[in-house]
A and B are shown apart, each in its own frame.
Chain A
Amino acid sequence: MDNVFVDRLKKEKLLTLEICGGEIAKKLYHRKDMLFALVSLLLFTGLALFAPMITPYDPNTIDLKNKNLNPSGEHLLGTDYLGRDLLSRILIGARTSLSITFGVVLISLFIGIIFGCVAGYYGGIVDESLSRIIDIFLAFPGIIFALAIMGVLGSGVFNMILALSITQWPKYARMMRGQVLSLKKQEFVLSAVTSGANDFHILYKHIIPNSIAPLLVLATLDLGHVILSISTLSFLGIGLPADIPEWGAMLSAGKEFMRTAPYQTIFPGLAVTFFVVIFSIIGDGMRDLLDPNHEGGEVY
């Protein structure tokens, strides 16, 4: 009896998995923009990962004889005001931005899920106080809060991840709370409660797997948002120490030489825009794949 049941379950699970995989592949194939975005993301993440090996010059070597050069065969994107190769700096900058971005989004996703689960699942006074805390955090417009935290803590990679995570987690918490509230009333959760499963088990096995999809979509869209925040903070000069190449800081330095060497302001900005566009397209495509109930247009 048991075996038959397990076999059937396994079969069904396998079956659904296959269908899911097939459908996703099919949908993916039909969305050329998403395919393009995924391929270029993989390509550029690869470039960023192996940046130290492939960059033609060391990103921090100062060469004052060749400063503010225009793009040429030797320096594909030109050089900056200290004669550092712009292409190398942009590639290493991708490493900086992407690693901080993924760190921030993963941390805030994790914190958001925990807080959202606790607030939504336990309800009552817990929910009320956590929701108020979330509201307060969301009352800070834009990057103002991150700016304040960085202002107090000072610049640095760790401080930046901390500041941006603190500003990002309430979004996830609020969404997770909504998800838990709607799932809590469903039969499969109620039956788990009546069969005596403990809270952690219910949240971990039943609620989180069923509510993770829209959060992942939000996280992907957020990747672009975080990249923008990082570059804005560094542009204002309160982001990262000077020896770490970063797009925003490069723009900030380049703007002093805009009259004579406009390339320094154009290329790093293009890099930021490129990654944000890619993450928007992927996030939107993921929404179509994972969250079929969502109504709304494509990103473009």
Chain B
Amino acid sequence: MKYLLKRVGFVVITLFAVCALTFFLMNIIPGGTAEMILKYTFVGLENSVSQEQINQISGRYNLDDPLYIQFFRWIKEAVVTGDIGTSYVFKKPVLYLLALRLPATIQLAGVSMVIAIIIGVSLGIYSALKENKISDHILRIVTLFGVSMPGFWIALILILIFSLKMKLVPVSGYGSLENLILPSVALSLHSVAAIMRVTRASMLETMGQEYIRFAKAKGLSIWKIVTRHAFKNAMLPVVTVIGFQMGSLLGGTVVIEKIFAWPGIGSLLVDSISARDLPVVQGCILAIVTMFLFVIFFVDMLYTCLDPRIRYG
């Protein structure tokens, strides 16, 4: 229980610090914000921004106050009313934009994670059981390339093969199951490879233990040994790597969503960066970091369930 509270506290403090860091990063250019608002939201003002207009905008959004006062006002608004800013481009609350985009990202990342865990873990166990056989070697070479290929390149190659040449699935879009296939495969491939490698190493280590040899000597079937004895003990490092992979998956959504025109937070982030819509950029980053922190928190909890030594240690 104490451990749980400690972890919750860690999540809250980290979230606050990430808010502060992003906020200061977004406002790092002094006087830049007002100029940015003028330049990028009023058509025809790109080259003719006058000092007077800057002052006017600064006055309206209280941009002349010191940064820390602005930050505390922002935090207060965020906590009390849930208002984390208004988009320069869309003229809508950032939270509203995020809420529109969040389901798509969760869907994509969630499906990819499930694919990565199921395929990664089962291939890892298979590879460990076939150690140094030909199929093990092939799988290991494939995973080496799996972790080395850029995710967006995998996505493009998949589009090239399955959409343009074989015409099996649509190039992009959102809504139906066939739209989900290519993005989730492209996104999960890296994680499949990473999870597989860790599972393989961990399984090999566990399978060398005395109690597994004893189980073998008892004459248990290999299936029973793996499911009853080896798997649970080999899971700890796998759970850790799954947590980290969730981070790289969330980072990967940015580029995958962009390629497949997937209406999630990642593509919103890239579009907002190009449009220099900083409140939305900030909101997207906070949303992604929050999701990541929750996953890490969940993995930590799972860890304590799997390994009681952490709870009591």
Contact = CB atoms under 8 A, between A and B. Distances in A.
A77 to B, nearest CB: 16
Interface stretch (B76-84, B211-219, B269-277, B304-312): B269-277
A269 B201 contact: no
A292 interface: no
Contacts, number: 137
A238 B17 CA distance: 26
Contact of B285 (A148, A251, A255, A258): A148
B205 interface: yes
Given A251-B156, A258-B159, A277-B148, A152 B164 contact: no
A215 interface: no
B68 interface: no
B25 interface: yes
- A151, A255, A269: most-surrounded residue (chain B CB, <10 A): A151
Contact of B18 (A140, A281, A297): A140
B152 A251 contact: yes
A139 B18 contact: yes
A262 B160 contact: yes
Interface stretch (A11-19, A100-108, A182-190, A224-232): A224-232
B28 interface: yes
Contacts of A300: 140-141, 143-144
A203 interface: no
Interface string B21-38: 110011011000000000
Contact of B288 (A141, A237, A276): A141
Contacts of B21: 136
Contact of B247 (A142, A248, A277, A280): A142
A147 interface: yes
Given A152-B25, A277-B148, A299-B144, A139 B205 contact: no
Contacts of B96: none
Interface in A108-152: 132, 135-136, 139-145, 147-152
A141 B26 contact: no
Nearest to B137: A300
B252 A280 contact: no
Interface in A272-296: 272-273, 276-277, 280-281, 295-296
Nearest to B205: A295
B254 A147 contact: yes
Contacts of B18: 136, 139-140
B246 to A, nearest CB: 8
A269 B150 contact: yes
Contacts of B140: 300
A266 interface: yes
Contact of A150 (B200, B251, B273): B273
A141 B289 contact: yes
Q: Is the interface of A mostly helix, strand, loop or mixed?
A: helix
Contacts of A144: 250-251, 254, 269, 285, 288-289
Nearest to B204: A297
A149 B25 contact: yes
A57 interface: no
B61 interface: no
B294 to A, nearest CB: 11
Contact of B151 (A140, A232, A280): A232
B26 A152 contact: yes
Given A258-B156, A277-B144, A299-B144, A140 B289 contact: yes
B14 A143 contact: no
A259 interface: yes
Given A296-B201, A300-B144, A273 B285 contact: no
Contact of B148 (A140, A150, A276): A276
A132 B12 CA distance: 13
Contact of B14 (A139, A152, A255, A265): A139
Nearest to B250: A141
A140 B270 CA distance: 16
B164 A273 contact: no
B248 A277 contact: no
B278 interface: yes
Given A141-B289, A300-B140, A151 B273 contact: yes
A232 B278 CA distance: 21
B157 interface: yes
A273 B160 contact: no
Given A141-B251, A262-B160, A280 B148 contact: yes
Contacts of A135: 10, 14
B293 interface: yes
B271 to A, nearest CB: 10
Given A142-B248, A152-B278, A266 B148 contact: no
Nearest to A154: B276
Contacts of B148: 224, 273, 276-277, 280
A196 B14 CA distance: 39
Given A148-B25, A297-B204, A143 B153 contact: no
Interface string A202-245: 00000000000000000000001000100110011110000000
Q: Which 8 pairs, one residue from A and one from B, show the smallest C-beta to C-beta distance?
A: A142-B251, A141-B247, A269-B153, A151-B273, A276-B148, A141-B292, A300-B144, A136-B17
Given A141-B247, A236-B258, 11 more contacts: A135-B10, A136-B21, A139-B293, A140-B285, A141-B288, A144-B254, A148-B273, A152-B278, A228-B150, A235-B255, A258-B164
6 contacts: A135-B10, A141-B292, A142-B250, A144-B251, A147-B269, A297-B201
